[in-house]
Amino acid sequence: MNKGHIRNLDWAGLETEIRGMGQPPFRAKQVFQWVQQKGVSHWEEMTNVPKTIRDQLAVKYELAGLSVLKRDVSKLDGTVKYLLGLKDGETVETVLMAYEEQEGRDRKTVCVSTQVGCPLGCSFCATGKWGFIRNLEVNEILGQVLAVNQDLSRKGEAPVTNLVFMGMGEPLLNYDHLIKSLRILNHPDGLNISLRRISVSTSGIVPGIRRLAQEGMPLVLAVSLHAPNNELRDRLMPINRRYPLEELLDACYYWVSETNRRITFEYILLAGINDNLQQARELAELLKGLLANVNLIPYNGVAEAPFRQPSRNRITAFRRYLEEHGVTAVVREERGSDIAAACGQLRGQEMRGKDDYQI
Ligand code: SF4
């Protein structure tokens, strides 16, 4: 029999399964906690669940977690990058970023992947270069967070507090698995991570943004913009030819009106490409009147890539122009630059078996 993975089941799915076995609902709660909160990989670890139930579940379901194939720690800022192995031999990247205290506890943010590879081929992105392999299953999305938690727990550290769906792949092209994973991560008997501490990043999948606005989820929507006009965005992000800026901005206004929540726009600053003051002016015009803020991310690729980071003066001038024209903007430094933490770089190195990378 081809087994499913028990971590693909949400609360209702597991309850139905346990009920179908003639067991009371509290058994579903126990199993759910072992699977989705503690992240166990072996049935016998479920010490308060009778063996008969474990045996029946084991006949139908897999329980194994993701294997940690590689773990690199940045000497610069402590960022940890994991290369995780999936059942079919594919690999996926997950990054842990530890920040200073927030609301009385350390903030630990995990950057989660949703696809193996990515079909969208953005010109500055290592993942896009490798093409699209497949969507991740729910257990593979959740397994990334659980793998990081287990690593933290081994070191006696507190678990993950925040999530950004900004790793490999386009989250809104794996929509159903994304939403199911979010509900499980937010469940009180799961990791109980507040949706307000979760960001979903999209390259601009317009139908996905509109659908997400209807989910009633108070999460943070981040839109990767990277260019203030269609001509440039078409070149940097081919998805713009499908959903041009006018349609994207319409969807963003829809998001704000439906959710009452601000949008974060990500803008990677590429020297000589999208970092002049004329482009800052276009960007300010584009976002005028929208409840939004801009994260400016100075490009931090490797030496062989055809892009460069702008000078500090240019970055400051760009940010200042936006601020002076009514757009809230902050400069965010990329983390873990010494460990190939940019999306797709580590997997790229593994596939090529060496340490360089070219866009
Ligand atoms: S930047 Fe994101 S959407 Fe674009 S190719 Fe890379 S993973 Fe895909």
52 in the same domain as 86: no
53 and 124 belong to one structural domain? no
Longest CA–CA span in the chain (Å) reads 69
Q: Which residues are catalytic?
A: 93, 343
- Closest atom of ligand 1 to 201 CA is 2
CB-ligand 1 contact for 225 (6 Å cutoff): no
Nearest protein Cα to ligand 1, atom 5: 128
Supply the pLDDT for residue 281: 98
- Ligand 1 and 170: CB distance under 6 A: yes
- Domain assignment of residue 58, given as a range: 4-62
Question: Is residue 72 located within the same domain as residue 15?
Answer: no
CA distance 16 to 193: 24
Same domain, 220 and 309: yes
Can you give the pTM of this predicted structure? 0.93
Query: What is the distance of C-alpha 7 from the center of its chain?
Result: 18
Owner of token pair 């439906």: 258
User: If you take atom 4 of ligand 1, which residue's CA is the nearest one?
Assistant: 122
184 with 248, same domain: the answer is yes
- How many independent structural domains does the chain possess? 2
Spans of the chain below 50 pLDDT: 351-359
CA of 83 to the centre of ligand 1 (A): 18
Q: pLDDT value at position 343?
A: 56
Residues 41 and 181 in one domain: no
Residue 299 included in any domain: yes
For the CA of 202, the nearest atom of ligand 1: 3
Provide the angle, in degrees to the nearest 10, between the axes of the packed helices 51-60 and 25-32.
Answer: 70
Asked which of 35, 62, 89 is the last residue of a domain, the reply is: 62
In Å, how far are 45, 65, 359 from 60, measured between CA atoms? 17, 16, 43
Q: How far is the CA of 275 from the centre of ligand 1 (A)?
A: 20
At residue 129, the pLDDT reads 79
Task: Give the model's pLDDT for residue 352.
Answer: 44
183 and 48 in a single domain? The answer is: no
User: For position 351, what pLDDT does the model report?
Assistant: 47
